[in-house]
Amino acid sequence: MTTTQVVNPATEQVVTTLELVSAAETDAAIERAQRAGADWRAVAPGDRARLLRRFAEAVDANLEQLAQLEVANAGHTIGNARWEAGNVRDVLHFAAGIPERLLGNQIPVAGGVDITFHEPLGVVAVIVPWNFPMPIAAWGFGPALAAGNTVVLKPAELTPLTAIRLGELALEAGVPEGVFQVLPGKGSVVGQRFVTHPAVRKVVFTGSTEVGKEIMAGCARQVKRVTLELGGKSANIIFADADLERAAATAPYGVFDNAGQDCCARSRILVQRSVFDRFLELLEPAVRGVRVGDPAAESTEMGPLISAAHRARVASFVEPSTKVAFTGTQPDGPGFWYPPTVVLPDAPSDRVLTEEVFGPVVAVVPFEDEADAVRIANDTEYGLSGSIWTNDVGRALRVSRGVEAGNLSVNSHSSVRYWTPFGGFKQSGLGRELGPDAALAFTETKNVFIAT
């Protein structure tokens, strides 16, 4: 039996030791999910809605416990962790609206009636990374369950605790056995079985682009449906006409939130050359002002990185030759800390500009004009999110249309609302989650013609 130690990244203390699920146990869980599917898809739409609403209410009643678990397991700030647990509740409430609104079409035809149905896929597998364990899990299981699928979910090995609790809360809320199962285990064991087991009809994967490509290739063998939410190298584009004070005051939070371990992190700040120096002057106090420390403290804005190995990877991006403009603070003592760091790259080919750091390191780069800004923003294999700061509404719209990314915000850094679509262009992913069409990623359209 293989076990894993769950470690608090702010203290380096062991929180708990867990048994990892084996390949045979994964097969058994997938088969339970398959058996449970026949009854689950037959539950009346209103009853399925009611169960999801009850699940949402159970999450809400345990919101503080879930948040505290995430603080201990992932080092998320308590403020963020409460938002994340609240997001699970909201995604479930939104999903509860789906069963009664999964409308098909009636299409005019000669000699009969033509109607479409949105049929569930069957068993859906969700593979979750360690950076946002709760929301990313819910974006998969919420709409998948609502559309009549059963779900097997693998949390990241480093952060299984909240997912395990959500699995218990689903049962407590009355979701039948086998409909939603959480399987803590290794990607190479549980995750791989999701890809290769023929009863799994779809894999929803969030994680690195590298692993995402393997999952997609594996799924191709069975023409298995796949949604991929992968990495990012998003740009925060600041034009000279913008409210520079606000742009500079908010830029740290657009990249250092969750210690930069965010696929939407605006890790490249592009600044129009005429205001480049002024912007850096304004950015410095904002970066130094980010409150880094004990994630359980209410006022903390940034916690530690997830692990020692990840901190070493992040640190490798700041080489001895790297020009560091300035850094923020970090606490002393145990914990996988890394300070907010602002670098000025020498060349467009610098690793810090081309690769996802997934930590609190941001590169600031000048641009000349609108066309140059769009060109630099698009000079990456990624295309997940981005921000545009300008007071010219025409420019805001032109640049929004020009940037190849799935989630853009103007004069703001928001990316995620459960009722708007989320996902990436290019190698940032495939498919969309959340939003009005969330359920359609978990159904097949069936067309039926009835001769009259």
Interface contacts to ligand NAP, rule CB under 6 A: 127-132, 136, 154, 156-157, 186-188, 191-192, 206-208, 211, 214-215, 229-232, 263, 356, 358, 384, 424, 428-429
Cβ proximity to ligand NAP: between 51 and 352 the closer is 352
Residue with tokens 């140059």: 372
Tell me the HSE value of 13 on the side-chain side, using a 13 A CA sphere: 6
Is 308 within 8 Å of 334 (Cβ atoms)? no
Cβ proximity to ligand NAP: between 147 and 215 the closer is 215
* Residue 421 Cβ vs ligand NAP, minimum distance, rounded to whole Å: 12
| CA nearest neighbour of 73 among 153, 181, 155 | 155
Cα separation, 227 vs 211, whole angstroms = 13
* Residue 154 Cβ vs ligand NAP, minimum distance, rounded to whole Å: 6
Is 145 within 8 Å of 50 (Cβ atoms)? no
Strands 106-107 and 112-120: antiparallel
Cβ proximity to ligand NAP: between 263 and 396 the closer is 263
Cβ proximity to ligand NAP: between 90 and 229 the closer is 229
Cβ proximity to ligand NAP: between 336 and 358 the closer is 358
263 is annotated as an active-site residue? yes
Q: Which two tokens stand for residue 65?
A: 């416990």
Cα separation, 74 vs 84, whole angstroms = 12
Cα separation, 386 vs 400, whole angstroms = 9
Cβ proximity to ligand NAP: between 190 and 292 the closer is 190
* Residue 424 Cβ vs ligand NAP, minimum distance, rounded to whole Å: 6
Which of 229, 301, 356, 433 is catalytic? The answer is: 229
* Residue 166 Cβ vs ligand NAP, minimum distance, rounded to whole Å: 15
* Residue 254 Cβ vs ligand NAP, minimum distance, rounded to whole Å: 15
Which of 70, 84, 219, 263 is catalytic? The answer is: 263
* Residue 212 Cβ vs ligand NAP, minimum distance, rounded to whole Å: 7
* Residue 129 Cβ vs ligand NAP, minimum distance, rounded to whole Å: 3
Long-range CB contacts for residues 349-357, cutoff 8 Å, separation at least 24: 351/317, 352/317, 352/318, 352/322, 353/233, 353/268, 354/233, 354/380, 355/233, 355/317, 356/209, 356/231, 356/232, 356/233, 356/263, 356/267, 356/382, 357/260, 357/267, 357/314, 357/317
Cα three-residue angle 118-418-301, rounded to 5 degrees: 155
Cβ proximity to ligand NAP: between 180 and 367 the closer is 180
Which residues are known catalytic residues? 229, 263
